[in-house]
């Protein structure tokens, strides 16, 4: 009987060590997942979003955005808060619940053409003014396909804020 109790204690000790190791591995994976992929883009998920000076409600509001869908570059994370940068370069903190994974972009600089194909010799389908907001459908090479209102076309990646320089996706 004593031998069985000793074996049970050894097994319980091994199970406890295994549980601690699994917990550490899970916590490490969660931390890696949450800080992986920085910077990345998201968009504002509401038509009223406060940008704060720090990661928490106790910090003052520096800006209030009133345009749902604006792209934000996520440059940092702290628990449920995301440090974001807008198209003008303003940096602050937004709660993750107010961000959406929906990919959007704004046209930068001057009036920019959107083309039928990712080729500057293809037919222009739309001229977009600065700060026009659109949905990003795909990015390949130096081009991104966008939908602005009910029109779709390809725009040079360097003419929008909302995608990373080397990010390709469909």
Rounded Cα distance, 7 and 4, in Å: 5
Residue 74 sits in the same domain as residue 54 = yes
Task: Print the domain residue range for 79.
Answer: 40-102
Among positive and negative, which fits the CA dihedral 62, 66, 67, 68? Answer: positive
pTM listed for this prediction: 0.79
With respect to residue 67, please indicate whether it lies within any of the assigned structural domains: yes
Over residues 93-119, the pLDDT tens digits come to: 999 999 999 999 999 999 999 999 999
Task: Say how far residue 127 (Cα) sits from the centre of its chain.
Answer: 27
Over residues 6-32, the pLDDT tens digits come to: 444 443 344 333 333 333 333 333 333
| Per-residue model confidence (pLDDT) at position 27 | 34
With respect to residue 170, please indicate whether it lies within any of the assigned structural domains: no
Name the DSSP class of 169.
B
Residue 71 sits in the same domain as residue 54 = yes
Residue 45 sits in the same domain as residue 57 = yes
Question: CA 9 → CA 5, 6, 15, 16, distances in Å?
Answer: 6, 5, 10, 10
Residue 89 sits in the same domain as residue 64 = yes
Residue 120 contacts residue 108 (beta carbons within 8 Å) = no
């Amino acid at each position: 009987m004593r031998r069985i109790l000793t074996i049970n204690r050894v097994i319980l000790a091994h199970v406890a060590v295994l549980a601690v190791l699994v917990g550490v591995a899970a916590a490490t994976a969660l931390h890696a997942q949450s800080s992986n992929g920085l910077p990345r883009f998201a968009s504002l998920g509401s038509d009223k979003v406060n940008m704060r000076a720090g990661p928490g409600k106790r910090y003052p509001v520096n800006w209030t955005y009133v345009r749902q869908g604006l792209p934000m570059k996520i440059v940092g994370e702290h628990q449920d808060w995301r440090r974001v940068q807008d198209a003008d370069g303003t940096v602050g903190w937004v709660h993750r619940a107010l961000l959406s994974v929906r990919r959007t972009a704004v046209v930068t600089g001057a009036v920019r053409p959107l083309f039928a194909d990712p080729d500057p010799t293809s037919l222009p389908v739309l001229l977009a003014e600065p700060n026009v907001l659109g949905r990003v459908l795909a990015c390949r090479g130096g081009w991104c396909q966008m939908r602005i209102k009910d029109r779709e076309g390809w725009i040079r990646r360097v003419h929008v804020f909302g995608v990373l320089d080397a990010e390709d996706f469909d």
